[in-house]
Amino acid sequence: MVMSGTEISIIKIILGIIIGVLLAVVYSLRVIVLMERKITRMDINLIRIVNRLYKAEEKELKEEKRIEMMLNKKLKKDAAKKTKKKTKKATKKVAKKASKTSKAKKATKKKSSKKSSRKKK
């Protein structure tokens, strides 16, 4: 089989097209691999950023809990002080009333003893 010049040129053109398509596919695969690597690096960086944010959020939550616990302790202490003050005031009032009643009883005893001594005379 002898080929003529036109057949050889057609075969060359077809082979050129096939090789061109193969090279385009290889180049596209290379670009896809490079893009995948970039996406992977971006994904890793995003994960790092999210982890940093998560740690910062945890620190903030711990700090908030610590502050809330301190405030609760302070409120409890203040409430205890208030109740102590109230009980002190109440005991003072009771003591004053008791002293007033005892003074009143003494005064009535004196009056009644004076009256009884007058009656005896």
- Domain with 47, as residue range(s), is 10-86
Indicate whether 101 belongs to any domain.
no
Q: Which residue has the higher pLDDT, 68 or 25?
A: 25
Most distant CA pair in the chain: distance in Å? Answer: 174
Is residue 27 domain-resident? Answer: yes
Gap between the Cα atoms of 116 and 121, Å rounded: 9
Q: What is the DSSP letter of 4?
A: -
**Which residue has 């202490």 as its token pair?**
77
- Asked if the model's pLDDT at residue 115 lies above 70, the reply is no
Number of separate domains in the chain: 1
In-domain check, residue 38? yes
- Is residue 112, in this structure, part of any structural domain at all? no
93 within domain boundaries? no
Q: What is the pLDDT of residues 73-96, one digit of tens each?
A: 888 887 777 777 777 777 777 777
Cα separation, 58 vs 67, whole angstroms = 14
pLDDT one-digit tens code per residue, 51-66:
999 999 999 999 999 9
| 118 domain-assigned | no
- The two three-digit tokens of residue 86, written as one number: 């109230």
In-domain check, residue 29: yes
Whether 66 is in a domain gets the answer yes
